[in-house]
Amino acid sequence: MHEECGVFGIFSRSGGEGISHSCYYGLFALQHRGQESCGIAVNNDAEIICLKDMGLVGEVFSPDTLDKLQGTIAIGHVRYSTTGASTKENAQPLVTHYVKGTISIAHNGNLTNCNTLREKLEANGAIFQTTVDSEVIAYMVASERSRTPSIEAAVENVMEKIEGGYALLVMSPRKLIAARDPYGLKPLVMGDLNGDTVFASETCALAACGAKLIRDVKPGEIIIADDDGIHSVQTQPRRKAGCIFEYIYFARPDSIIDGISVYESRIRAGKLLYEQHPVDADIVIGVPESGLDAALGFSQASGIPYVKGFVKNNYIGRTFIKPSQAQRADAVRIKLNPIESAVKGKRVVMTDDSIVRGTTIANIVRMLRQAGALEVHVRISSPPFLFPCYYGTDVPSMDKLIARKYTIDEICEKIGADSLGYLDVNSLPAMLGLPKTAASDKCYCDACFTGDYPNADTGIDLLNGGGEKLEK
């Protein structure tokens, strides 16, 4: 399963009043991370009540339903699927009943060894109700808990066996556990809400519920929130490799991930694009949402006026995360409309965050020309996609990546642009505001651009057939 989701959790020490509403606000702020299904599970004196369904957060939950979700611990989840089934059964959080009681988990990421783990569990009698790898984690935690003294010890043992990228929340009858993969591939932060402990995929979710950021969960760290406070267990971290695409596309611009502002990163990307691919033009526009900040940076560096070039329909999901290509094509036609009076008769620089298959951006360039743009110069605030992602981002197999098949000049011609420029892969540290370092000292994952997968040292040869995602 390729997934890019959002998680939110809260442990209340003040009686839990309004806990489901805080979770709702957090999930609402994370809606950009998944628009197919959502759910909230609350723990009320060891009784877990879970409500989840297909649809947006505002569609699934109402004030009445939130009022019924009473408890002192809560976790929530927003999800989208691509290659897997988009069904209510796959919605999260997952609730598992086992010999020690009940646990619930919410998970963002992807396990690269999911098939092997699932087959072992099935051989031992496990019966799965979903097709998501999150259920594999739930079974493993439940199994380990029956042999360990605490839920955090069970999570630690499971982390030694699972591989890939994940931000994980586990709710037991008395504790809320947060865990981040040893590479830090998936973001996870901790905050404080009037003495209550909050975890979320992004800092924007903390702000939405009124919580203050404490810090990021460290790669390989397990944090336990209970009545006694906050406790940390540090497992063996590996080379830090946060997903670079969080800064380019996924995260909300007002979020801060591992101490780096997403907004500032996108501004810097736009400035770098002008330095690397200058052009004589009349206006700069950005494709909403993640292309807007890069357009502003390009404008600041070039002196070319930045204008609003598109009206976006905010009630439609991201075209990038639709399950099928047909849906992507349908969505882009109703999602964006060029502002004719802004672009007509103008030489336009248009920034966007990426080109994956090439179909969406070709449609956008075509719409600009139909609106009267004289020239369309496309600038992309990421390097070309050359490799698939195995950690939970919707980057397809290599045969569907346009940059694997064609040169930049050929791509330019295919999308109908007058010129095309990508961000240089060597300038990614500058985009993040980091000093340029040796490739071996990278603190981010750029495998979708370079093929440099962070867990290559574990012996999983993802590209040459050893990666289970290639076998699915």
Q: What is the pLDDT of residues 366-379, one digit of tens each?
A: 999 999 999 999 99
What is the average pLDDT value for the chain, to the nearest integer?
Answer: 89
Summarize pLDDT for 103-150 with one digit per residue, the tens.
999 999 989 898 888 888 888 877 788 878 889 999 999 999 989 999
* The pLDDT of residue 457 is above 60: no
Reference 7, options 254, 221, 200, 180; nearest CA is 200
Q: How many CA atoms lie within 13 A of 25 on its CB side?
A: 17
DSSP-assigned beta bridge partners for residue 79 = 37
* 38 belongs to the catalytic site: no
CB of 266 within 8 A of CB of 257?
Answer: no
The answer as to CATH 3.40.190.10 being correct for domain 246-471 is no
Distance between CA atoms of residues 264 and 31, nearest Å = 21
Q: Dihedral (C-alpha) 361, 367, 371, 375: value to the nearest 10 degrees?
A: 40
What proportion of the chain, given as a percentage, has pLDDT over 90? 72
| 133 to 78, 115, 118, 162, 351: CA distances (angstroms) | 15, 9, 8, 10, 35
| Domain ranges within the chain, ordered by starting residue | 6-238, 246-471
Long-range contacts of 422-427 (CB under 8 A, 24+ apart): 422/380, 422/382, 422/383, 422/384, 423/269, 423/272, 423/273, 423/276, 423/380, 423/381, 423/382, 423/383, 424/272, 424/276, 424/383, 425/383, 425/449, 425/450, 427/272, 427/276
Structure confidence at residue 471 (pLDDT):
27
What pLDDT is recorded for position 141? 94
Between 249 and 319, the more confident residue is 249
Angle between helices 359-370 and 325-335 (to 10 degrees): 30
Residue 339 has pLDDT above 90, yes or no: yes
Which sign, positive or negative, has the C-alpha torsion 328, 333, 334, 335?
A: positive
Model pLDDT, residue 264: 98
Place of tokens 């901790």: 190
Q: What is the pLDDT of residue 162?
A: 94
CA dist., res. 470 & res. 92, Å (int): 25
Question: Residue with structure tokens 């620089």?
Answer: 349
| pLDDT number for residue 290 | 87
- Could you tell me if 5 and 167 are in contact, meaning their C-beta atoms sit under 8 angstroms apart? no
CA Rg, the chain, in Å?
22
CB 211 within 8 A of CB 155: no
291-312 mean pLDDT: 97
Say if residue 389's pLDDT is above 90: no
Average pLDDT over residues 25-39: 95
Q: What is the mean pLDDT of residues 309-332?
A: 64
Indicate which residue of 5, 114, 389, 445 is catalytic: 5
Percent with pLDDT over 70 in the chain: 89
pTM equals: 0.91
> For domain 6-238, which CATH number applies: 1.10.1240.10, 3.20.20.70, 3.60.20.10, 3.30.1370.100?
3.60.20.10
